[in-house]
């Protein structure tokens, strides 16, 4: 199967910090692909490089084998690269409806003028109703987004990205700060995205049980470098990985 997303020797430096060091891996359609590593390893940086918020110093990024290394972020989003953020990003001054409609707008990019004159796109309501069954909570349309608890906002961000019908979603620590039932709902949404809709998922997550249970493939990075990759068994028995994580624990104890 052709990968939906492929990184080829991607490099990124911030001053003296090497955040991505010759990183290569690929994500298949319908696959949940874990991206793990200690704090500051460069995981979020990779997502920013893939979505185009940062530009690569070196190397290439391919979407369905099309080189998108030089493409601006909004065009990558239109191709089908969705994402969520480590801390959710919403329009603080808009209500929930407008915030979610932005997701639908992305799959209906027929231009501001035709939209102004009433051209209709996807059926927003039924699509949203379907997704909210998995998200497991409801809300009032006109409520401000700022009144929504953190965990639900993280869920809503995944919902928003799915409303756009992407081919791949980059999910940055979806479970951090969530309670157990919210984590369950996150994983339900991501499973639906991958298994029913064939969306490739690149998942950053610190909770090891989630990563080991849900990911088919895992890539481990440390100091921007890939130190291991493979299926959960291979990765969890890898000596470098154990060291990187044990080393982190030792540091934490000091």
Partner 1 sequence: MKNFTIKKLKIRPATIIVFVVAMAFILLMPQVNSGYKMLCLNLTLIYAMVALSISIMLGMGGQMTFAGVTMMGVGGYFTANMTSGRLGFAIPTLPALLLAPLFTALVALALGLVLLRLRGTYFTFATIGLVQVAWSFYSMNKPAFGGYDGISGVPKLDLFGFVPADYNQWFYILAGGLVIVALIIERIRKTQFGRSLAAVRDNETAALTLGINVYITKVYAFAVAGAICGFAGALYAMMNRYISADTFTFDVGVRYIIMAMLGGVNNTIGCILGAVLIGMLPEWLRVLQGYMQFIYGIGIILLMIFMPMGLSGVFLTALKRYRKKKKIKLEHRASQTAAEKGEA
Ligand X SMILES: Nc1ncnc2c1ncn2[C@@H]1O[C@H](COP(=O)(O)OP(=O)(O)OP(=O)(O)O)[C@@H](O)[C@H]1O
Interface contacts to Mg ion, rule CB under 5 A: 44, 86
**Region near partner 1 per CB under 8 A, out of 13-21, 27-35, 120-128, 225-233:** 120-128
Residues between 28 and 87 with contacts to partner 1, criterion CB under 8 A = 51-53, 72-75, 77-78, 82-83, 85
Sheet holding 58-63, edge to edge: 17-27, 5-14, 58-63, 66-67
Given the complex with ligand X, which of 89 and 109 has the nearer CB atom? Answer: 89
Residues contacting residue 182 through CB under 8 Å, at least 6 positions apart: 136, 151, 152, 154, 155
Using CB under 6 A, pick the residue from 23, 34, 36, 44 that binds ligand X.
44
Residue 17 contact partner, candidates ligand X, Mg ion, partner 1, none, CB within 5 to 8 A by sort of partner: ligand X
Given the complex with partner 1, which of 35 and 106 has the nearer CB atom? Answer: 106
C-alpha–C-alpha distance, residues 8 and 22, integer Å: 8
31-44 residues labelled b (16+ CB within 10 A) or e (exposed): bbbbbbbbeebbbb
C-alpha–C-alpha distance, residues 203 and 84, integer Å: 10
Strand partners, 66: 63
Give yes or no for residue 39 binding ligand X (CB under 6 A).
yes
DSSP 87-142: S----TTSBHHHHHHHHHHHHT-S-HHHHHTT---S-HHHHHHHHHHHHT----TT
Given the complex with partner 1, which of 53 and 212 has the nearer CB atom? Answer: 53
Residues contacting residue 222 through CB under 8 Å, at least 6 positions apart: 37, 38, 41, 240, 244
Q: Least CB distance from residue 101 to partner 1, whole Å? A: 6
Give yes or no for residue 150 binding ligand X (CB under 6 A).
no
- The pair of structure tokens assigned to 20 is 């991505």
Give yes or no for residue 132 binding partner 1 (CB under 8 A).
yes
Give yes or no for residue 169 binding partner 1 (CB under 8 A).
no
Strand partners, 203: 34, 171
Q: Least CB distance from residue 217 to partner 1, whole Å? A: 24
Give yes or no for residue 19 binding ligand X (CB under 6 A).
yes
By the criterion CB under 8 A, which residues form the site for partner 1?
51-53, 72-75, 77-78, 82-83, 85, 89-94, 97-98, 101-103, 105-106, 108-109, 112, 115-116, 124-125, 128-129, 132-133, 138, 141, 160, 164
By the criterion CB under 6 A, which residues form the site for ligand X?
14, 17, 19, 37, 39-45, 86
């Amino acid at each position: 199967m052709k990968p939906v997303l492929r990184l080829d020797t991607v490099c990124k430096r911030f001053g003296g910090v090497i955040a991505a060091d010759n990183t290569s891996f690929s994500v298949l359609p319908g696959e949940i692909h874990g991206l793990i590593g200690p704090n500051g390893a460069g995981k979020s940086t990779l997502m920013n490089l893939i979505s185009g918020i940062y530009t690569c110093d070196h190397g290439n990024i391919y979407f369905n084998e099309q080189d998108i290394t030089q493409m601006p972020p909004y065009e990558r989003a239109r191709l089908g690269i969705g994402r969520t953020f480590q801390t959710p990003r919403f329009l603080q001054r808009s209500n929930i409806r407008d915030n979610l409609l932005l997701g639908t707008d992305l799959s209906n990019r027929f231009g501001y003028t035709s939209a102004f004159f009433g051209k209709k796109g996807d059926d927003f309501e039924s699509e949203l109703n379907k997704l909210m069954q998995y998200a497991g909570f409801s809300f009032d349309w006109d409520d401000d987004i700022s009144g929504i608890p953190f965990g639900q906002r993280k869920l809503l961000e995944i919902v928003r990205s799915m409303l756009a019908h992407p081919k791949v979603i980059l999910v940055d620590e979806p479970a951090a700060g969530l309670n157990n039932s919210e984590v369950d709902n996150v994983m339900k949404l991501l499973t639906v995205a991958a298994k029913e809709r064939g969306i490739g998922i690149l998942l950053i997550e610190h909770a090891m049980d989630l990563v080991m249970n849900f990911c088919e493939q895992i890539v481990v990075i440390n100091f921007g470098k890939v130190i291991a990759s493979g299926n959960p068994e291979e990765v969890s028995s890898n000596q470098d990985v154990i060291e990187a994580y044990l080393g982190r624990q030792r540091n934490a104890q000091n």
